[in-house]
Structure 1
Amino acid sequence: MTGKDVAGLEEARDSIPAGTKINVTFLGNEDLDMRVAAAKAVKDMGFIPVPHISARRLSSEAQLEEFLARLQEVGATEHVFAVGGDPAEPEGPYPDSLSVIRSGILQKYGVKEVSIAGYPEGHPDIAEDVLWRHLEDKSAALAEQGLKAVILTQFSFDTDPVTAWITEVRKRGIQSEIRIGTPGPAGIKRLIGFARRFGIGANAMIVKKYGFSLTNLMGTAGPDRFVGDLAALLAENSAAGSVKLHFYTFGGLLATSRWAGEYVAARS
């Protein structure tokens, strides 16, 4: 959810299981009060807030400490997501999430678990070897500091690169829980727009496999086929380790939570 989605969370709260992790964004058009209020709302409604820390958006060490201190006041620092962020040039002393992790500041404010980014289909602006090195370095830095790590991936439409990437993560000795980014049900046009923005494959063959057509952009699509296929592939891979889902709620919190509840009910 974004800092503006508190009303949407209130609307969806009864369809989301208690204790669900809900990430809270760190966008350029949000301010400190909005981010903290959203994290507090998540906590107050019985869920686990996972505030984002966007390294390149931080103008100073003092800003990072102020953010964490405010989050700690509302009981929202145990779980965070450290990510580089969008700005082409860092706005302060942190060029990437690794520099935030290595600062030692997170533990000072009660952080126990740090989510870090994974990119099964690569990143439009970062070379693949660099992505792997960063993932290994961040995993090692968190282990050294006694912090639990979770790898949270960009969303995908195709199970093939996802399962290949999971296999490679495990081959590199990284055994942290992986949460695979999964688009919640949303308009097809909107899904494709997000895919293009983040450099994710959305060609005709892949989206047909996912379950919708590029020739009909007016409908909506859910991740039923993607989730089912991924579950089947992981069941065959004993080395996959702990793999869960992370939903990007492009169609809204309520639509996504209802979809998840219906999906589980239909298979139980």
Structure 2
Amino acid sequence: MATAGLRALLDSVRYEVLPAKTTEDKVLAHVPRDVVVTVTASPVKGLEPTLDLAGRLAANGYRVVPHVPARLLRDEAHLKDVVDRLREAGVDDVFVPAGDADPPAGAYDGALPVLRGLSELGRPFARVGVTGYPESHPLIHDDVTIQAMWDKREHATYIVSNLCFDPRVLGEWIARIRRRDVTLPVHLGVAGPVQRAKLLTMATKIGVGESTRFLTRHASWFLRFATPGGYSPDRLLARGEKALTAPSAGVAGLHLFTFNQIAETERWRRAAIDRLGS
């Protein structure tokens, strides 16, 4: 990695963390205050752990982005309660995916109705993120996912791409959404330097049912992490450098999936920045 473009991506990062018991301590110990922290939400545990951790991290001076999955919201009143709580905590940025809860907790089965609900509430957040899918969604055709981004553009301010391990696929996806006039800035979803054993440990801690779904959906991830030479964030960024750093790509930064390996992710980022600087 040897360009100013990659350095800029590493300087503009978001760390995705899971709301576990030790997460707050790990963030406080290892994450600089200028790094955005996003907090996931689990269909098993619901929104409460996410909202609680987001509030505590915000109180400690972090810019926090809680995930508010549509399928975890019961109704309009619940959405308003969540908005009020987050605004009181000083949160001005939320990420609104559809979520994996099956069946949904209430009236919302996708992100767009929630985004419309936020607009009807007066757009209470300065920034609102939505999901992009570089690789095919198992249940949704690619053209439909890109159309969905187009439909959401008037309510959202940025896109976070789902986790992808292939720089060619990432580059082609970015070019494709730009051809379709989706102009929202993109935060690239990239796995940090994850160890397979720790990923398995994390998966087994997120709830029995949810863990089973996680492992079923992402079995190929473990092969990539376990195979010698199978995955390296340095290699992915270096191979995708041209496509990902081109001004026309509109990439705003990296969204790093830490899988709660927070200290390891920050050490890797600092080392990568040091190498670029030299």
TM above 0.5: yes
Match of 1:228 in 2: 238
How do 1:157-236 and structure 2 match up within 5 A? 157-188=165-196, 197-198=216-217, 207=224, 214=227, 222-235=232-245
**TM-aligned CA distance change 1:34 to 1:213, over 3 Å:** closer
Could you tell me how far 1:90 is from its partner in structure 2?
2.6
The aligned residue for residue 8 of structure 1 is 23
CA distances 1:86-142 after superposition (whole Å, capped 9, x unpaired): 123332111210000112457547211110000000211111121111111001x32
What's the offset of the Cα at 1:213?
Answer: 5.9
Aligned position for 2:76: 61
Q: Does 1:250 align with 2:259?
A: yes
Q: Which runs of 5+ in 1 are unaligned?
A: 143-147
1:130 counterpart residue number: 144
- Equivalent in the alignment of 1:145: none
Q: Contact 1:84 / 1:97 at 8 angstroms: preserved in 2?
A: yes
Percent identity for Structure 1 against Structure 2: 27
Where 1:92 maps in the other structure, the secondary structure is: coil
Letter in 2 for 1:254: A
TM value normalised by structure 2: 0.79
Q: Which residue of 2 aligns with 1:90?
A: 104
CA contact (8 A) 2:41 2:49 kept: no
For the Cα contact (< 8 Å) 1:15–1:261, is it kept in 2? no
Distance verdict in 2 for CA 1:35–1:130, change over 3 Å: same
Report if aligned partners of 2:188, 2:251 keep a CA contact under 8 Å in 1: no
Q: RMSD of the alignment, in Å?
A: 2.9
Aligned-partner residue type, residue 258 of structure 1: R
Aligned to 2:271: 262
- Conserved 8 A contact 2:47-2:72: no
Distance 1:36 1:106, change over 3 A: farther
Query: Quick one: distance in 1 between partners of 2:47 and 2:217?
Result: 25
Match of 2:160, SS? strand
Distance 1:153 1:197, change over 3 A: farther
Aligned 1:8-157 pairs, distance under 5 A: 8-76=23-91, 78-104=92-118, 107-108=121-122, 110-139=124-153, 141-142=154-155, 149-157=157-165
Q: What do residues 42-81 of structure 1 show as CA deviations (whole Å, max 9, x unaligned)?
A: 21232211111111121222211111211122112x1000
**Secondary structure, counterpart of 1:152 in structure 2:** strand
Return closer, same or farther for 1:267/1:188 CA change in 2, 3 Å cut-off. same
- Cα offset, 1:8, TM superposition: 2.9
What residue identity is the alignment partner of 2:235? R
The whole-number CA distance in structure 1 between the counterparts of 2:241 and 2:217 is: 24
TM-score norm. by structure 1 comes to 0.81
**Which ranges in structure 2 are unaligned for 5 or more consecutive residues?**
1-16, 204-212
Deviation (angstroms), 1:197: 4.4
